[in-house]
């Protein structure tokens, strides 16, 4: 297992690709139960066939949630800190059976006003098995600095 990195260890420009995950019907159904979003394009195949997607698709926010979770399984990851927010765009649908992974990089790095912390931006793409970017954006994180002895 790779050791989690502190803010001090982050090198702008460093890139990483996460493992992938296949989006299943069970995942979409569980997300609907969790959030209460039972919109037919996510839940009803017959209805979804009448939409431009032609089939059921995953909730957009399920894709963002997967992107966030996949980053925690990457070989390049950080000591847990605080999420400061996301800027995120939905480009293409995620269909049941799609396998997605995240490609991200360390964008910017600056010291935080809070002593002992630093801020990173991680520009990220959620990519399907066809190499298409289905979602894209940037995650801002406050990460602990390496403790001094």
Q: Indicate if the pLDDT at residue 7 is higher than 90.
A: yes
d(CA 104, CA 133): 12
- At residue 52, the 3 state secondary structure works out as coil
* Backbone angles phi and psi of 102, in degrees to 5: -115, 135
Q: Over 90: is that where the pLDDT of 26 sits?
A: yes
Banded model confidence at residue 55, pLDDT cuts 50, 70, 90: very high
Residue 3's pLDDT band (cuts 50, 70, 90): confident
Spatial contact of 142 and 81, defined as CB atoms under 8 Å apart: yes
Angle at 18 between CA 16 and CA 20, to 5 degrees: 155
| pLDDT(1) > 60 | no
Can you say whether the dihedral through the CA atoms of 68, 85, 29, 46 is positive or negative?
negative
**What is the per-residue pLDDT across 66-105, written as a single tens digit (0 to 9) for each?**
999 999 999 999 999 999 999 999 999 999 999 999 999 9
Q: What is the pLDDT of residue 84?
A: 97
Which residues face 25 on adjacent strands? none
């Amino acid at each position: 297992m790779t050791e989690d990195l502190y803010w001090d260890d982050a090198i702008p420009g460093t890139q990483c690709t996460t493992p992938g995950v296949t989006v299943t019907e069970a995942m979409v159904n569980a997300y609907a139960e969790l959030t209460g979003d039972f919109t037919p394009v996510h839940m009803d195949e017959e209805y979804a066939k009448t939409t431009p997607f032609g089939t059921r698709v995953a909730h957009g926010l399920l894709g963002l949630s997967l992107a966030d979770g996949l980053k925690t399984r990457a070989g390049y990851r950080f000591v847990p800190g605080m999420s400061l927010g996301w800027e995120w765009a939905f480009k293409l649908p995620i269909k049941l059976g799609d396998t997605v992974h995240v490609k991200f990089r360390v964008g910017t790095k600056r010291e935080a006003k809070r002593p002992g912390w630093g801020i990173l931006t991680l520009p990220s793409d959620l990519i399907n098995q066809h190499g298409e970017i289905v979602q894209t954006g940037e995650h801002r994180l406050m990460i602990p600095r390496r403790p001094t002895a």
